[in-house]
Amino acid sequence: MSTITKISKKGQLVIPKKIRDKIGLQGGSVSIAEHDGVITIRKTKDIFDIVRSIKVSDDFNAEQALQEAQRDIADEKNKQNT
């Protein structure tokens, strides 16, 4: 799917609703990359999405949760670089 949209004088870009709906983008963070003149925008998780996804149990370990979140962030960055 492709479409034409405008960039404001402030550099703001509106992602059309059809595309936002297709990828489930409701706001939050996206990653933007440029390679050989092609700009790629990907849905990504921010730290709050990752923290909310962690299930808390009686034996919850905050340090382990932080390490998992850091791994998830590193995985997202690796996806952006490929």
- 36, 54: one domain: no
Query: pLDDT: is 28 or 18 the higher one?
Result: 18
Q: Indicate whether 59 and 77 sit together in one domain.
A: yes
**pLDDT score for 11:** 92
- Quickly count: other Cβ atoms within 10 Å of residue 29's Cβ: 14
- pTM (2 decimals)? 0.47
Q: Which domain holds residue 65?
A: 45-82
Query: 61 and 76: one domain?
Result: yes
Task: List pLDDT tens digits, range 31-74.
Answer: 888 899 998 888 877 777 777 777 767 777 888 888 989 999 99
Q: What integer is the mean pLDDT of 15-39?
A: 85
**Strand 30-35, strand 38-43: pairing:** antiparallel
Q: CB burial class (10 A; 0-12, 13-18, 19+) of residue 61?
A: exposed
Task: Band the pLDDT of 7: cuts 50, 70, 90.
Answer: very high
- What sign has the CA pseudo-torsion 16, 18, 19, 25? positive
Distance in angstroms (rounded) separating the CA atoms of residues 11 and 61: 42
Token output for 3: 């479409």
Structural domains of the chain, count: 2
